[in-house]
Amino acid sequence: MALLGRDDPFPEQLNRVVVAGACGAGKSTVAAAVATELGFPYVELDSLYHGPGWVPRPSFESDVADLAESAQWVTEWQYQLARPVLAARADLLVFLDLPRWLAVSRVVRRTVKRMLLRTELWEGCREPPLRKLFTDRDHIIRWAWRTYPEHEPRVRDLMRQQPALPIVWFKTRRDVKIWLIRLSR
């Protein structure tokens, strides 16, 4: 098992990085920061997945395959279809195993902000009215709460399936910040 801590050396070969974690853990933020530090392209998987009206894009599977075959990239480790393809090509997985209260509170804040500002996300998609929280089982806030417990077992399964894949496992925001500072040196 290649489990790393924040102070461990970085893998010698570091061209493809996936960032895992619950909704609101900071996957996109950390992935973008890692990409900037390494000088690699950052590809936001949500932008590949969501088409107009929140309908999945038909090209998602082939887009993920193309991404995985690229020489260098940083992205999030999400979507059932994408996870095995990305993990098979990754040189490092960063797992943001932050507390549930933190992840869900981030989702609430960003969702309300996006809703109030009518922020366009992907392909013209916007957050639905807040009342949908009570009527839509898959509203992002409910989704974040319900799916939070799935992430640790998923990473543990990956550790068994791909024991040579280095995984950096973070439990605190402080450790993530320290690791990113080390990466920038």
At residue 40, the pLDDT reads: 98
Distance (Å, rounded) from C-alpha 50 to C-alpha 75?
15
**pLDDT (tens digit, 9 = 90+) per residue, 24-78?**
999 999 999 999 999 999 999 999 999 999 999 999 999 999 999 999 999 999 9
**% the chain with pLDDT above 70:** 99
Distance (Å, rounded) from C-alpha 119 to C-alpha 16?
30
At residue 57, the pLDDT reads: 96
The domains of the chain are located at 3-183
pLDDT at 142 over 80: yes
Distance (Å, rounded) from C-alpha 95 to C-alpha 29?
13
Is pTM beyond 0.85 here?
A: yes
**pLDDT (tens digit, 9 = 90+) per residue, 146-176?**
999 999 999 999 999 999 999 999 999 999 9
Write the class of the CATH domain 3-183: alpha beta
**pLDDT (tens digit, 9 = 90+) per residue, 4-37?**
999 999 998 899 999 999 999 999 999 999 999 9
At residue 130, the pLDDT reads: 85
